[in-house]
Structure 1
Amino acid sequence: MASPFPSSTLIECSESKLAESSNSRNWNEAFQLYSNAITCGNDGLKVEATIKLAKMSRHAPENILALTVPLIVGLLESPLNPSILEASAYCLKCLASQGDGRLAHLIGQSDAIPLLLNLLPNTEGRLQISLLKCLRNLVTFWDSNSRTVASNHGLEIVLRMLNSSSDVKDILYEILSALALTREVRRYILNSRNVYHLVEAANCGRLISRTRAAQAIGLLGLIKSARPTLVDAGAIPVLVQLLKHGDPSMKLVAGNALGVIASHIDHINLVAQAGVIPLYVELLQGSDPIGQDIAVDVLCILAVNEENAITIAGHLVELLRGGKDGAKAGAVDVIRDMSNYKHSMSVVENAGAIPILVELLKDENTNVKERVSGAIAQLSCNKADRVALANSGAIPILLNVLLEDEPNELIDNAVEALVNFSADPSLGEQISCISESPLFQNMRYRVLEMGDSDESWASSSDQTSVCDIPSEPDLC
């Protein structure tokens, strides 16, 4: 059917509405013009009007754009005209990025996704690229659209295209990275032996897509049996590159994913040998508390290996000497955790950490002092470290803590450490000040609350510790 007005009229009117976008009546008139073009216009006008709408979408009100969605989706049912299909996919792609994802949600609730997926297998060239970019935006700007794609066999289509196509792989990887944030999709990828595609998605494309893929790798790694598969697929070097060169968000995601993979006992050295220890130390020095927590957790895992522990301890000592408060607190946490390992009895002392820890008991930052007191309480469970602590002047400083108005946790840690010192006769005169302290004697009930007593010490054959020290953390 012929158009009641020429296409140039539509374009001129649309541009006029753009210039007067503050007037909602004008936008309503523009919508009516577009509706007329779609319902009454010829194919050329439909294409021209739809492309114009796509270009104007960033300026138009969201409620007006929402009205156009059913009209544009309807154009996807015009299989005999590739130009109309391409224009409608392009326009939906533009709309999906508007309105904080609300329009992507609206489009996802329509029949657009099944229509796009049905068209994909029989298309190529520009039309195929337009369809894929539309799908990419739909799953990027609204999470639940990923489930709609997966439930309509979209994942199988994407994987099939990845296995056969080279021209559009970057777009396919972006779609895959979004789909893989869904648990069912990750399990399908694992069971269908397509994990290498997920790893490659973290290795190429835009930062947001690579970050999603790295997050999906970390989530997939929570399945113990998936970790060796991820390693075989090359996940470690890819994640290391993201941790080294990514933006702050990407570094957090990649660092966490690497930690998940490293939690397999067979992978600790593989991760460490990739040169990640300085990268996690850098993350620990950052200002992001989440990044610091990730760094602490992963450094504790890597320190299970004695050679790694020696390297890590050297970095931690440097942080204790001159790092920011958050980095100091994190470094102390790693040392405290390392004290549970068999080899830590020499590693911590040989690194020169003990005198610095004792000095940090006088730090102005309460959080640092609390962490340090906890580490000293833990270290004092071991005879060699206990002697080193006493020789570094820890006992009088701990007694002084009891005199100050300090938080309960700090005092509890100080009392626990002093109990450990007081029960070691090899320290001789160094512990006399403990037994002579009325304040300490009055606080012995704290020891009972922590499950310690003089009787438990008397029954200890070597009197080296009140702690049950495991040889390594619980690794999967």
Structure 2
Amino acid sequence: MDYPQIVQSDGNIDWEQAAQKYLSIIACENEPLQVKATLELARLSKQAPEATLASTIPVLVRLLGDSRPTIQAAASYALCCISRRVDGDLSSVVGAAGAIPIILSLLPSSRDWFRRTLLRCLSAVVSFDIPSRVILARIGGLEVILDLLGTCSGDMKRYLLEILSALALLREVRRVIINLGGLSFLIEAVSNGKIISRTRAAHAVGLLGIARRVRHMLVDMGAIPALVGLLRDGDTPARLVAGNALGIVSSHVDHLTQVAQADAIPLYVELLKGSEPLGKEIAEDVFSVLAVEEGNAILILEHLVRILHGEDEGAKVAAVDVLWDLVCYKHTLYIVLDSGVIPILVELLRNGNGDIRAKASGTIAQLSYEKASRNALAEAGAIPVLLDLLRGNSEELTGCTLEALINFGEDPLHRDHVSDTPSSLAVQDRLTRNPASNEHMSRSMRLMNSEQLTSEPELI
């Protein structure tokens, strides 16, 4: 482009005139001039207005399909620069203009700088634009990308993995990716490339892991350490996606030990303590599954006790919620007793805020079904605290309080401590006036053991 003719008196470029100048140069069929103007367009693409660039994209796509290598190379570079603008808004224009089939046809025979430029352009287009992913998938793009992944390395492989991670978000791609041998590459994509690309790959892995057969394949191919790496190194959105995907992939008793060995438990503790509500939910769900394995349960309880000793009220609520799930397993009861958490629960029930009290009362009610934990609760002073809580509290808190007191009242060792106090009249009165709560309190404890989870793995 001839600068003196398009630069205004104030030093700014007249972009409309520049675009017309470029189009006129392309129309003249002077190859060296066309190449020079196209490379200049690429250089100016970061500062040019979208409308100006959009008007040149159909021309650039036509040049990409040209038979002259120098023209193709210059056009691919310009399209790459335009597609990789920070906002990504023009990637859809590039895809809709027909660039994807041309790039795909050029890739197998391309080499070195030209191939790298084509891959960078294609990666940007499919990363930003969902319809472009569909186009690429439906013209055989997955097969081409997988073939190239088997031979490329370095930056080229990284761009290929980014393209694969974008394609794998399509259901039609996930249906065939296993049969085409792409699962190992998808796991590799979780560990390589930009965080946003790694996050897409992790999301796809989680979606694939919903199927039990695929879940085992993913674990055998190294999905657990790959997802743990993203859970450790990613930004907040990446950590949420990786944490959720890891929970799905590892949700079988055969995989629970591997998760702990990969040091995932402290990372889930960070999610539990974080400010993202979704992160807390993910951590709670994963901990309730990981605790099926005894060693995991011990480690999780150690972290929960530390949280409950701290000052973060939100983290405490989440920790007690996890604890409520953990005491539903038979094999964790003795771990809970050894952890020293019961006196902490009683203190939270006595002095905690409303939400913590509600969670603590539910956990204590669950513990009150077992003799050993009833004795530990009584020794920690739970009975008088429960009796005091009968007055003026929420329905959920009152229901759990009554549940626990009835279990104490049916225990000969503790019956007198419940019936000999004036507040015990409130227990009987509540039961008489609210038969519905009686049904709630007489429910059997949700006890699961590892044998049940082994025989019915889909329960988790």
TM-score, structure 2 length as denominator?
0.91
Task: Tell me if 1:181 matches 2:163.
Answer: no
1:219-230 equivalence runs, <5 A: 219-230=207-218
The letter of the residue matching 1:431 is V
Within 1, Cα distance between the matches of 2:45 and 2:382?
Answer: 68
1:211-222 equivalence runs, <5 A: 211-222=199-210
Give the secondary-structure state (helix, strand or coil) at the position aligned to 2:46. Answer: coil
Match of 1:251 in 2: 239
- Of the three residues 426, 430, 444, the one matched with 1:443 is 430
Task: Tell me if 1:20 matches 2:12.
Answer: yes
Q: 1:308 deviation in Å? A: 1.6
The letter of the residue matching 1:432 is S
Q: Is the 8 A contact 2:253 2:292 kept in 1?
A: no
Task: Tell me if 1:146 matches 2:133.
Answer: yes
1:196-211 equivalence runs, <5 A: 196-211=184-199
Using the TM superposition, name which of 49-58 and 259-268 deviates more.
Answer: 49-58
Match of 1:112 in 2: 99
Match of 1:235 in 2: 223
Within 1, Cα distance between the matches of 2:304 and 2:149?
Answer: 44
Give the secondary-structure state (helix, strand or coil) at the position aligned to 2:65. Answer: coil
Match of 1:123 in 2: 110
TM-score, structure 1 length as denominator?
0.88
Between the aligned residues of both structures, percent identity stands at 45
Task: Tell me if 1:50 matches 2:38.
Answer: yes
The letter of the residue matching 2:71 is I
Q: Deviations over 1:296-332 (max 9, x none)?
A: 1111111101122122112211111115122212211
Q: 1:17 deviation in Å? A: 9.7
- Of the three residues 445, 453, 457, the one matched with 1:475 is 457
Q: Deviations over 1:122-163 (max 9, x none)?
A: 211111111111100001112232111111111100000111
Within 2, Cα distance between the matches of 1:175 and 1:161?
Answer: 12
Match of 2:256 in 1: 268
Match of 2:80 in 1: 93
Unaligned runs of 5+ in 1: 1-6, 457-464
The letter of the residue matching 2:133 is S
Change (3 A) 1:45 1:374: farther
Q: Is the 8 A contact 2:399 2:440 kept in 1?
A: no
Q: 1:16 deviation in Å? A: 4.8
Q: Deviations over 1:384-443 (max 9, x none)?
A: 222222221222222322324x43322332232223323333213221256744443332
Within 1, Cα distance between the matches of 2:76 and 2:4?
Answer: 23
1:34-45 equivalence runs, <5 A: 34-45=22-33
Within 2, Cα distance between the matches of 1:312 and 1:402?
Answer: 32
Give the secondary-structure state (helix, strand or coil) at the position aligned to 2:130. Answer: coil
Unaligned runs of 5+ in 2: none
Match of 1:398 in 2: 386
Q: 1:84 deviation in Å? A: 1.7
Within 2, Cα distance between the matches of 1:184 and 1:281?
Answer: 35
The letter of the residue matching 1:152 is I
Within 2, Cα distance between the matches of 1:180 and 1:19?
Answer: 47
Q: In angstroms, what is the RMSD of aligned CA positions?
A: 2.5
Q: Deviations over 1:91-143 (max 9, x none)?
A: 22222234844321222222111111111112111111111111000011122
Q: 1:231 deviation in Å? A: 1.6
Task: Tell me if 1:195 matches 2:173.
Answer: no
Q: Is the 8 A contact 1:285 1:323 kept in 2?
A: no
The letter of the residue matching 1:199 is I
Give the secondary-structure state (helix, strand or coil) at the position aligned to 2:108. Answer: helix
